[in-house]
Amino acid sequence: MGCIKKILINTFLIILMYSLSSAQTELKTRDLVTGLDTPWEIIWGPDNYIWMTERYGRVSRVNPQTGELTEILRLPEVLEDGERGLMGMVLHPQFYSQVPEIPNYPYVYLIYNYGTKADSKVKIVRYTYSDNKLDSPVELMKDIPGAWNHDGSRLWINPNDWTLYVTMGDAAVSDRAQNLSSLNGKILRMNLDGTIPSDNPYGNSYVWSWGHRNPQGLVVAKGIIYSSEHGPDTDDELNIIYKGRNYGWPNVRGFCDLPAEKTFCEQNDVVEPIACWTPTIAAAGIDYYNYDLISDWKNSILLVALKGSKLVQLKLSEPGTEIVSQTNYFAGKFGRLRDICISPDGKVYIATSNKDGRGSPRSGDDRIIEVTPSTLKKNDDESGLDKINIYPNPFSNKIYFDIGAINNDYTMEIYDILGNKIKEFKSGDLLNKIWDGKDEYEVEVKSGIYFVRFIFHEKIYLAKLIKTGL
């Protein structure tokens, strides 16, 4: 339950890191393709096209330069209702080879709901791609219980051993997550022919990990499996997935910090998340970014949020086992965001989900949006924020803010390390501001770390201040 408890001290620092990153990274967006209907999965294919599923049952390829869309499969069997429908997709690791000695396996794996509203199921099917169509379906698994919500489902194939990983929600029956006889509330692992790998942790079982509520994102980087997961009214999670481990649901929400949770975690060797969110943001698709194009995003998990309607950059530690900072982008700008993919040159693509029954569709929705760096460089910033000079720092009595030629439409704010606003300066006649180390009541503040934030139109500049003395 303890997302708030564990991250409260760092909340303001996260906000400040967001402000700083906003000042450093200028991004631009363009609509690549519009008029879609709840795109669920977007992946970058080996043909340098974006492959996409839409929840009502369509699979398409999208040209990332022109936005031209080519439908390659329509599935009338798909049951779309509530959160049900066509969901995850993955291509075989050896889908396309230019080396004659290496065979091609042009297989595409899909997971979707079928059946009736009263008795819906989930199945995994392999298709063969040929002549710009998907055909020759082979069912790998079926009759997994489904529901109006909490169906998962992301797919990933390990290129080293060709095993398929599947995220399965609890299908709205929370007790299934702790029942190893059920496939719901689990991450599953299977061979590509649908059989159970001999090295799975529970013998003749597809279960790889358990205690999940509704895992919605799956990516592998640095040899680590990351998964995002929807919480109930609290504690969305980002987890590192380990073989045979329990992730606590429904007995644990977020961290193991309530008395009953601590007991359950100790008895069941529960893995705690590396990040969680309260209030929930409906954490959805994730991908790993490690490209030079948007250098601030290197070595980060990029996560898109449905209810939170934003892209979240989660900067990783070098080993990849911890989150060192969190930065939000595009909050509220595009509405609900369902999935994300990245091109080999570092361009980012995000898919909206405003037609999913919980959003507010806008003109042109749903869409895939391309994110790239703006041509504006920081040292070309016409706002003047990059030319602010602060001195002396550290300081004891007075610190000066030389704000140069910034016009009169700005705000300067001083905060302590816990996020309390100490003082605010509005734009005025002076081009140099002085802070005497006192709060708004003219009481001198204690020595320690403070932050100054300049806001000029939509641009933000952040700097750390060190006060000595008192």
pLDDT tens-place string over residues 90-113: 999 999 877 777 899 999 999 999
pLDDT at 19 exceeding the cut of 80: no
171: left (phi over 0), alpha (psi -120 to 50) or beta: left
Q: What is the pLDDT of residue 461?
A: 73
What's the angle, vertex CA 230, arms to CA 310 and CA 278, rounded to 5?
Answer: 70
What are φ and ψ of residue 265, in 5° steps? -65, -40
| CA distance linking residue 437 with residue 414, whole number of Å | 10
Q: What is the pLDDT of residue 249?
A: 98
223-248 burial, b at 16+ Cβ within 10 Å, e below that, comes to ebbbbbbbbeebbbbbbbbeeebbbb
What average pLDDT does the segment 437-443 reach?
88
Q: What is the pLDDT of residue 469?
A: 75
What average pLDDT does the segment 402-427 reach?
74
79-88, 151-160, 348-357, 440-449: lowest mean pLDDT where?
Answer: 440-449
- The reported pTM is 0.79
Mean predicted lDDT score pLDDT of the chain: 89
What's the angle, vertex CA 325, arms to CA 320 and CA 327, rounded to 5?
Answer: 120
389-467: CATH number: 2.60.40.4070
pLDDT at 10 exceeding the cut of 60: no
pLDDT band at residue 247 using 50, 70 and 90 as cut-offs = very high
Q: What is the pLDDT of residue 382?
A: 47
**Residue reference for tokens 């041509």:** 375
Contact 60, 67 (CB under 8 A): no
Q: What is the pLDDT of residue 297?
A: 96
Say how many C-beta atoms besides its own lie within 10 A of residue 434's C-beta: 10
The percent of residues above 70 in pLDDT, for the chain, comes to 87
11-20, 246-255, 282-291: lowest mean pLDDT where?
Answer: 11-20
Q: What is the pLDDT of residue 17?
A: 45
The percent of residues above 90 in pLDDT, for the chain, comes to 72
Q: What is the pLDDT of residue 1?
A: 62
pLDDT band at residue 408 using 50, 70 and 90 as cut-offs = low
pLDDT at 15 exceeding the cut of 60: no
Q: What is the pLDDT of residue 413?
A: 86
| CA distance linking residue 81 with residue 112, whole number of Å | 12
pLDDT digits (tens, 9 = 90+) for 255-292: 999 999 999 999 999 999 999 999 999 999 999 999 99
27-373: CATH number: 2.120.10.30
* Domain locations along the chain: 27-373, 389-467
pLDDT digits (tens, 9 = 90+) for 186-231: 999 999 999 999 999 999 999 999 999 999 999 999 999 999 999 9
Q: What is the pLDDT of residue 21?
A: 42
Burial bucket for residue 54 (CB in 10 Å: 0-12, 13-18, 19+): buried
pLDDT band at residue 375 using 50, 70 and 90 as cut-offs = low
Say how many C-beta atoms besides its own lie within 10 A of residue 84's C-beta: 23
Closest among 114, 83, 36 to 282, alpha carbons compared: 83
Which helix (H) or strand (E) segment holds residue 413: the answer is strand 410-416
pLDDT band at residue 168 using 50, 70 and 90 as cut-offs = very high
| CA distance linking residue 92 with residue 199, whole number of Å | 21
Q: Which residues pair with 310 in a beta bridge?
A: 305
Q: What is the pLDDT of residue 26?
A: 85
2-6, 154-158, 271-275, 397-401: lowest mean pLDDT where?
Answer: 2-6
Q: What is the pLDDT of residue 246?
A: 99
Q: What is the pLDDT of residue 407?
A: 54
pLDDT at 67 exceeding the cut of 80: yes
What average pLDDT does the segment 34-50 reach?
97
Please enumerate in sequence order all residues whose Cβ is within 8 A of that of 196, keeping only pairs 6 or more positions apart, or say none: 190, 204, 205, 206
Q: What is the pLDDT of residue 23?
A: 44
Q: What is the pLDDT of residue 416?
A: 81
